[in-house]
Structure formats: structure tokens, C-alpha cells
A = this chain, B = another copy of it.
Amino acid sequence: MARLVMKFGGTSVASIKHMENVAAKVRTEKLAGNEVVVVVSAMGDETDRLVSLAEEAQVPEVDTRRELDVLLSTGEQVSIALVAMVLSRSGLPAKSFTGAQVAIKTDGVHNRSRILEIDAERLEADLGKGIVPVVAGFQGVNESSDITTLGRGGSDTTAVALAARLKADECRIYTDVEGVFTTDPRIVETARCLERITFEEMLELASLGSKVLHTRAVELASKFHVPLRVLSSFNDSTGTLITREENITMEAPLISGIAFTKNEAKLTLLGVPDLPGIASTILGPISAANIEVDMIVQNVSADRSTDFTFTLSRQDYDQAAVILEAIAASMGAREVTGDTSIAKLSIVGVGMRSHAGVASKMFEVLAAESINIQMISTSEIAISVVIDEKYLELAARALHSEFDLAEPFA
């Protein structure tokens, strides 16, 4: 007997019909003798509907984030009630739980709370009776019993936290994709669904643009050693298991996947006086404007002046350019240049830790396709490059092929 947490996202509970599909998946596990806890998100685009109501009711000058949480948490509450009804009528005794009822205690920051602890007593009692608890994702309560929501990736985080607390054997995230792919199958036809991947690789992929799982849920699973499986709620494939490195029994492949983001831009400050502290002088005002900076490159100085480049999300480009012009003027830099037609492409794999030459192979592949590399940044298990966005598909396909990602592991 295994204990499973099964989390279904908005598209998987978009209608009563969809919920019957959820019930079928739960039944399969119950028939196999497993204990099941279900976690659900709000139905389809219910959250969007609630957000647009809030936008009509809120003004930026008045802090009503507490009320936004009260509002948004109803989306998941509707789902748990209906899923519990559908499970019950399918002969699977079920019981819904709001975040407050579980009780999922949070740090009390509205709209982006973190889970502090879970009092799983009620769930354990119901599991003991063969009941399937259906828990609302994305929500908890703070110490004043105010409703708090967990922000982006919140329902996945709820599922992983519950799995950790209940010592579940596996936390399954059912989505509308089959699992974690070697790269985006819409771009590279031969992209393959990975059978296994390490937490570290998944974290890199998530932070590098893969939309499958939010970084937060992966981090939490990694911290508490919760085996995490991403799989489709629309078929019976086994998806991708995200696990600790030692559980990947076969020798790790050189790289596991290729991630990319198109929505990138870069800004360069040319001819900056090369003095201590220039990085913070430049980036301080940018970050004060809540603009997130990704890659940062500063060239070695030759003539007491230097060039400073960073990448950012394309939608922040205009605002950042204005700020940078002001900075350039104040510090006597020569010029501000920018580019909004770039893309970032990364290869990720724990295998590259023990294999030299991954970077040079990557650069060779790109050079063979005459693709110019504009920026490079590396971490222990990832190498990222910035290139002209028009070469992105070409680069992804070439790398996918050269690193043998289309081939199943030997």
C-alpha cells in the first residue's frame, strides 16, 4: 500500500465531466489498495473571473490584499466541494477541506504566503477510515485565522507540502502536458518526455522558462525528499518522476533538457568609468523599480572604461531604458544600447558536472550553424546563452540532436 497525493490543476477540473476523469484516476489508485489525498485548483478560468471582479472593486491606493485572498480562495473551495461530490457518487467516500480546515498555517503575507506548518490530524483520521480528503490548493490561514493565498504555483506547493507532512510515497501533479520534455515539443519535433529527472535539473529548467512546475514546489519537494511526478490528467502515461540524484539508477545522461525563453531583451551601458560599485549604481534604481534582471555581464576593462550588459523581461524594457538613460547621464557613460529581439537558450544536466567539454560542444554546435553567441552564463548544471531570437528554433533543434536527447537512455 502506498500513500499518494494527487493534485489536479484548473484544466483538469474545468467541468463536472472533467471531474469524472479525476474520479476515474482516483479509483484506479484506491482499487490498487493505495491511500489517496486529492488537491485541486480552481475550475478552468474561475480565478480569472474572480481577479477581474477584484480589479473592478479595488484601487491601487487602498490595501485590500486581505480581501483579495478571501475572494480568490473561493475558487478552490468550489472545486473541492464538487470534486468531493463526484468522488462520492462514484462510490469513493470523499470529504472536502479548505485550507483553514486542514489546517494549513501560513506566515500571513497576503497574496503570496508561505506555508509554516500543517496540522494533518483531521486528514489522517479520515484516511484511516478510507475516506479520500479533497484539499483546496493555494490557500491557508495565518495566525489571526485570516485566509491567505500562496501566490503563483500555490496549488502545487500545497500538494507537495501535504505530501511531505503526510509522508506520502509520491506527490503527483496532473496537468495538461505529459510530463517534462527534453525541450519544447512545439519547437523540436523529436522532443521526448523524460522518464526521470533530478530535483536540481528540474529547478534549473523551471527557472530557465519551463512552465511545467513552479520553482517553489520543486524546491519544497527537494527539501523534504518528496518524489514528485508530473503527468497528464488526460491519458494514462506515467509522466516524469522528479527525484533525488541517487534514485536515478542508470548513469546520468550528459544533459537532460533544453530550456528557452523568447520574451527577453537586453540593455547595454557603453563606456562606463570602471570604478568600484558601478554594478550597484546601475542596478540599484532598476531593482527599486521592481524590474527583475536575469543575466549580467561586465567586460574586463582595458582603458579605464567598461561595458555593462544585462537581460530582462521584454515587457520591462521601455521602463528600464528610461531609467538607464538617466543613470548613464549621471555617471558620464558614453551610450545606452538595447535589443528586444533576443532569446535565451539553456542546456541543463547533472551529467555536465562530471563531463568536461559540454560547454565547448554547445558552442561548436552553434558555430556550425553560424549562430552568434551574444552573452554566456553558467551554473554547475546549466549553460545559458543569449542569441538572436530568429535563430532560436534552429539552435534548439541542432542542440537537441547533437546531445542525443531524442534517443531514450541506453
- Distance in angstroms between the alpha carbons of A88 and B59 in the assembled complex: 9
Q: Closest CB of chain B to A306's CB: distance in Å?
A: 47
- Distance in angstroms between the alpha carbons of A65 and B156 in the assembled complex: 28
Q: Is A274 an interface residue (CB 8 A)?
A: no
Q: Which of A64, A73, A145 lies at the interface centre, i.e. has the most chain B CB atoms within 10 A of its CB?
A: A64
- Distance in angstroms between the alpha carbons of A239 and B19 in the assembled complex: 47
Q: Which residues of B contact A53 (CB under 8 A)?
A: 16, 78, 82
Q: Which residues of B contact A59 (CB under 8 A)?
A: 89
A:25-82 near B, CB below 8 Å:
50, 53-54, 56-59, 61-62, 64, 66-68, 70-71, 73-74, 77-78, 80-82
- Distance in angstroms between the alpha carbons of A59 and B20 in the assembled complex: 13
- Residue pair B81, A67 in contact (C-beta under 8 Å): yes
Q: Count the A residues whose beta carbon is within 8 Å of the partner chain — how many?
A: 37
Please, what's the 1-or-0 string for A319-346, where 1 marks a CB less than 8 Å from any CB in chain B?
A: 0000000000000000000000000000
- Residue pair B57, A82 in contact (C-beta under 8 Å): yes
- Residue pair B145, A89 in contact (C-beta under 8 Å): no
Q: Known contacts A78-B53, A81-B67, A98-B70; is A89 also within 8 Å of B58 by CB?
A: yes
- Residue pair A57, B16 in contact (C-beta under 8 Å): yes
A:161-180 near B, CB below 8 Å:
none
- Residue pair B88, A82 in contact (C-beta under 8 Å): no
Q: Which residues of B contact A82 (CB under 8 A)?
A: 53-54, 57, 67, 71
In the complex, residue of chain B having the shortest beta-carbon distance to the beta carbon of A49: B78
In the complex, residue of chain B having the shortest beta-carbon distance to the beta carbon of A96: B70
In the complex, residue of chain B having the shortest beta-carbon distance to the beta carbon of A57: B85
Q: Known contacts A70-B98, A89-B59; is A50 also within 8 Å of B64 by CB?
A: no
Q: Is A95 an interface residue (CB 8 A)?
A: yes
Contact of A62 among B57, B58, B71, B89 (CB under 8 A): B89
Q: Which residues of B contact A100 (CB under 8 A)?
A: 100, 145
Q: Is A362 an interface residue (CB 8 A)?
A: no
A:88-114 near B, CB below 8 Å:
88-89, 95-96, 98, 100-101
- Residue pair B80, A70 in contact (C-beta under 8 Å): yes
- Residue pair B78, A74 in contact (C-beta under 8 Å): yes
List 19 contacting pairs A-B, 8 Å CB cutoff, sorted by A: A16-B53, A16-B56, A19-B57, A53-B78, A54-B85, A57-B82, A57-B86, A58-B85, A62-B89, A66-B96, A67-B82, A67-B88, A68-B85, A70-B77, A70-B80, A70-B81, A71-B81, A74-B81, A101-B145
